[in-house]
Copies of this chain bind each other. A is one copy, B any other.
Amino acid sequence: MIELNNPERSQWDKLTQRPSLPSEDLENKVKDILETVRQRGDAALIEYALQFDHVTLEKLQVTNEEIHLAIDSIEYTLKNAIKLAKENIHAFHNSQKEEEKIIKTRPGVSCWRKSIAIEKVGIYIPGGTAPLFSTVLMLGIPAKIAGCKEIIICTPPNSQGQVHPAILYTANLLGIEKIYKVGGAQAIAAMSFGTETIPSVSKLFGPGNQYVTKAKKLALNHGLAIDMPAGPSEVLVIADGTSNSDFIAADLLSQAEHGTDSQVILLSTNDDITRKTLMAIKSQTINLPRRSIVEKALESSYAITFDDINSCIDFSNLYAPEHLIIASDNADDYVDKIINAGSVFLGNYSCESAGDYASGTNHTLPTSGYAKQYSGTSLDSFIKKITFQKISKTGLENIGSAIEVMAEAEGLMAHKNAVSIRLKS
């Protein structure tokens, strides 16, 4: 980690910039994949599975038999852990339902909003080293609570043509039936345009590699919506004299193991805690299976000591971290000062892992400073709110002349007429 001491505010803009990523020019490759899937559908998906996943697929959709084999293969303890996480995530996201409130802005003028599920949503679950069944929970649970009619999952098969059983078990537990063995940009293409087997959707969710991310971005040009812009995962920890350096080290490492492009930041008002944390990071890293990923991620990470806690908070608000851990017994005192963050963990026992898996909050959060203007995934992400209004004749009499005057001032006489013709009737 790069160590800094009380950097000048003039340097903060530079320090809060994320490490620049090698920007491989994928756009043409991904556009080609989108167009090929759009034109050739399932046939293209089967060819890409051979090319990228090295497998010849007979069927794109996971069969009931495969799902039942997966359920049987999952150990009891993992099943119970997933069920506990499901209950907590369900409780928190279910509390996000909003009541319809009818507002009478004038006598005879009633306005309200109604939350309605997005009908068709697609969830991408990456394959690769980590089978992210936790992301199935984080996206599948709010989709189900919202009442989305069509919820589909695309995830790449392994070289035996199989999907990881924990993904199938979790999807089944949530009642998601349509799971397709398609990965990468071609999965995004399939969910965007639809194929013979895979239905098209209105909104795309889920993490992925740079091909998936680029494909989601290009899908915006084809009438789709996406959950949020994606970047490498990150955590910022604020520490003071009440922090536990071993806990902080473990939290920083849990973020660093996500990928070599992850960034972790320690802000501390206490030299001793900083020093001990850096030592703990060294000793804890030795035993980690993803040690090489961690070490690479730490190279572009910072440990910054500030004289006062307010500088830590100001820096954090400028950085706008995806995850913010306030590792202090006094965390409650700082809550009202946090204005930019994805998800905040208060106190020495609120570790990021808890929110990643099982406390109830969502783990799909804005990265790269997007916490300044985006919320993390929630029930809101799976609904839209339609406004309704009902105006009686009296109601229109109460607001009609204002509308006429304003429409005329904007030079829109047909807008005015729509009121006048009613008031005269």
Please report A residues at the B interface, Cβ cutoff 8 Å. Answer: 77-78, 80-82, 84-85, 87-88, 91-92, 95-96, 98, 101, 103, 105-106, 109, 111, 113-114, 116, 118-119, 129-134, 166, 202-203, 220, 223-225, 229, 244, 246-247, 250-251, 253-254, 256-258, 284, 288-290, 294, 331-332, 335, 338-362, 366, 368-376, 378, 380, 384-393, 395-396, 399, 401-403, 405-407, 409-419, 421-422, 425
Contact check, A166 vs B409: say whether CB atoms are below 8 A apart: yes
Residue in B closest to A343 when the chains form the complex, CB atoms? B387
Inter-chain CA distance A246–B417, complex, in Å, is 10
Inter-chain CA distance A103–B361, complex, in Å, is 10
Residue in B closest to A249 when the chains form the complex, CB atoms? B421
Oligomeric state, in copies = 2
Interface class of chain A by DSSP:
mixed
Inter-chain CA distance A416–B357, complex, in Å, is 10
Contact check, B229 vs A391: say whether CB atoms are below 8 A apart: no
What is the minimal beta-carbon distance from A281 to any residue of chain B, in angstroms? 11
B residues in contact with A395, CB < 8 Å: 349
From B288, B343, B392, A389 is in contact (CB under 8 Å) with B343
B residues in contact with A256, CB < 8 Å: 414
Contact check, A109 vs B407: say whether CB atoms are below 8 A apart: no
Contact check, A360 vs B109: say whether CB atoms are below 8 A apart: yes
23 CB-based A-B contacts, threshold 8 Å? A81-B405, A85-B402, A88-B399, A111-B361, A116-B338, A220-B220, A247-B421, A251-B418, A257-B414, A284-B417, A288-B413, A289-B413, A290-B412, A290-B413, A294-B414, A344-B387, A344-B389, A346-B389, A349-B395, A351-B391, A355-B387, A356-B403, A375-B385
Contact check, A391 vs B350: say whether CB atoms are below 8 A apart: yes
Contact check, B359 vs A389: say whether CB atoms are below 8 A apart: yes
Contact check, A119 vs B359: say whether CB atoms are below 8 A apart: no
Contact check, A81 vs B354: say whether CB atoms are below 8 A apart: no
B residues in contact with A346, CB < 8 Å: 388-390
What is the minimal beta-carbon distance from A36 to any residue of chain B, in angstroms? 22
B residues in contact with A114, CB < 8 Å: 335
From B332, B354, B414, B422, A391 is in contact (CB under 8 Å) with B354
Residue in B closest to A362 when the chains form the complex, CB atoms? B387
- A353/B385 contact (C-beta < 8 A), A399-B358, A409-B131 known: no
Inter-chain CA distance A258–B415, complex, in Å, is 9
